[in-house]
Amino acid sequence: MKQSSSAVWAGRALSAVVVILLAADVIVQFNPPESLRAEITATGFSLDQAPIVASILAVCTLLYAIPRTAALGAILITGFLGGAICTHLRIGEFTSPPQLISLALGVMAWGGLYLRNANLQRLIPISA
């Protein structure tokens, strides 16, 4: 299957958006502003755990950003975002903005990878 140049570039752009947004979350988690501290503790995490969560997400994001390890990064990001969705569901936030953002980021991560990775397209063929 021949990849179109525009699909590859769209995949790269989509993946770049995911990397930028996740990297921004990593930065915020390392030093959460006062307005976010209450949100972190409301989910059941202590502020001392935020750097650990940030480090895990940083590794997942870095793996996703490197083409040779992007599939592993996407798998790990999926697990991380699934945990975020479950955390908010556990505290009664069904369809909350964090859940919807996590869902959208997961779809964007895999969509971007699919568009830019011919091996993934062969593994999961999607035809019209």
pLDDT tens-digit profile of 25-36?
999 999 999 888
What pTM, to 2 d.p., does this model score? 0.88
- Average pLDDT of every residue of the chain: 92
Residue ranges per structural domain of the chain: 5-118
If DSSP states are collapsed to H, E and C, what string results for the chain?
CCCCHHHHHHHHHHHHHHHHHHHHHHHHHHCCCHHHHHHHHHCCCCHHHHHHHHHHHHHHHHHHHCHHHHHHHHHHHHHHHHHHHHHHHHCCCCCCHHHHHHHHHHHHHHHHHHHHCHHHHHHCCCCC
